[in-house]
Structure formats: C-alpha cells, structure tokens
Amino acid sequence: MANYAGDVTIPYDHDLGPVLFEHYGADTARRVAERSVRHVLEIAAGTGIVTRHLRDVLAKDARLTAIDISDSMLEVARRKFLPHEKVTFQIADATALPFDNEAFDTVVCQFGVMFFDKETAFREVHRTLRHGGRYLFRVWDSEHYNPYAGLSFEVLKQFFPSDTPRFLLDTVACHQIDPIKEKLIRAGFDRIVVSVHHKEYDIVDVATFARALVFTPLIFEIRERGGVDPEAIAQALTEALMKKYGSNPTRYPMQAILFEAEKP
C-alpha cells in the first residue's frame, strides 16, 4: 500500500474506483448501517470511496475514523468531505492500531487485508472492537474470476516473460477461505459468515480502465524493470479486454468474498 502515492492516486480513484470499488463499497456501508453504531473504524481507507458511502448512511452523530498508511491517498479522501462531517482521517498501520481497547462498534476493511500481516491485524481489530462488535472485510476472489488481475498478468508476461510484475496478481492472493477463517478464530472472533459476491459493470471506455490498471501501483514494477513503454502495455491490455469481453461498452465481470465476524 505504500506505493499508493503521488500520481497514481487520481487514476486509482477516478478510473478504477467506479469499476472495482464503488458498488462493493455501497454494499459494505449498507451492511454496517443495518445496526445502530456509534463509532466506526475503516482500515486501508485509500481515497475514501467506502468512507463516503459509510458517512452517507451512518447516523449524523456517529463518528467515523478512516486510516491508511498513504497520506497521498488520504489527501484525495479528505477532499470528498465537508468540514462539518464527522470523519477523522489518520495515518496508521493496520498491524499496530493507535486506538484504545474496545474503542469501536464496527471495523471495516475493503480490499486491504492482502497487504498486511493478517494474524497481527486481526488481533488488533479484535482488541479495538467492543464486545458484540462486528468486523467486515472483503478480499478479491482468485484471478479466474477477476480479469483485472488474471488477464493483466497474461499481458504483462508478453513484455516481461522472465520477471513478470506481480502486483495485480498479488491482490487476488487471499481467496482461500478456510485459512482466513482459522486466523479469525485464533484472533478470538466467532459468528463468522462468508459470502461470495459476483458483480458485472459496464465499462464505457475500456482504454481508460486498462491504462489506469497499468499506471496505478503496477507502474512502479514496470519502471523498475525498464525497457518497455507502459503505454504499449496499456494498449495491449485494452486489446485483450476487448477481445475477451467486447468493445465499448464492455460488460466486465468481477468477484469478491465478504467476511463478517463478531467479537463475543
């Protein structure tokens, strides 16, 4: 997540966000708001996509704290809120939460768990949750269900056959349910519910989406290796997406796994 900095934040928010994150974020917020909560923590809040949905559905007097390790990402998030809205943004590490024991009613994390040590992070969430509090987080299903990762990796192999950039593939590396459940149980959680959520989204401009995939954190791996024009990769990925899913607008599939757990 430290690579989510500088120039990558805007295409991440504007071009990837609507496709990959908005609808899952709205669903997460709706689930949180099903119960009366006073203080919610969002981990790995990024550019505030889920944060905005949470603030829209929570009671006006509920407090919302959003953390991330990237100040560049949080700077984009801050711009989505008015001064009177009860949102506190803070740079913090998911594995060392700077909060008191039993500080929150609910903790949320959307597509961040793959970036940090789960054993430690789950214990920290458990510590900061009140008894009866809920932990909701999503991870991506495997690359077979998420072409942003699988198809991108195949395209990247054409340009870097011996040292293929793995960032996007790494984002879908947490799809095995049982190991995650075991870690939650060891951290002290119970009433664990797991559900799989398939979505489809009409991408109006495939080239813009493909370019955003290349020019967000993946770009750092591409530049490290050198010798390839990133624009050529974006063009090849555009063509691969269109070949598989059709030209504009493209009906794009994706699949995520939602974990819901409680602190006894």
pLDDT digit string (tens) for 119-175? 999 999 999 999 999 999 999 999 999 999 999 999 999 999 999 999 999 999 999
CATH superfamily of the domain spanning 6-262: Vaccinia Virus protein VP39 (3.40.50.150)
CA 94/CA 180 separation, integer angstroms: 16
CA 202 to each of CA 32, 206, 222, 242, 246: distance values in angstroms, whole numbers, following the listed order: 27, 9, 28, 12, 11
Domain boundaries, the chain: 6-262
pLDDT at 62 over 90: yes
- For the stretch 3-41, pLDDT in tens is 444 578 988 999 999 999 999 999 999 999 999 999 999
Give residue 129's pLDDT. 98
Give residue 22's pLDDT. 96
Give residue 40's pLDDT. 98
Give residue 248's pLDDT. 85
Nearest CA to 4 out of 66, 78, 71 is that of: 71
| Strands laid side by side in the 190-203 sheet | 87-91, 63-68, 39-43, 104-110, 129-140, 250-262, 190-203
- For the stretch 94-128, pLDDT in tens is 999 999 999 999 999 999 999 999 999 999 999 99
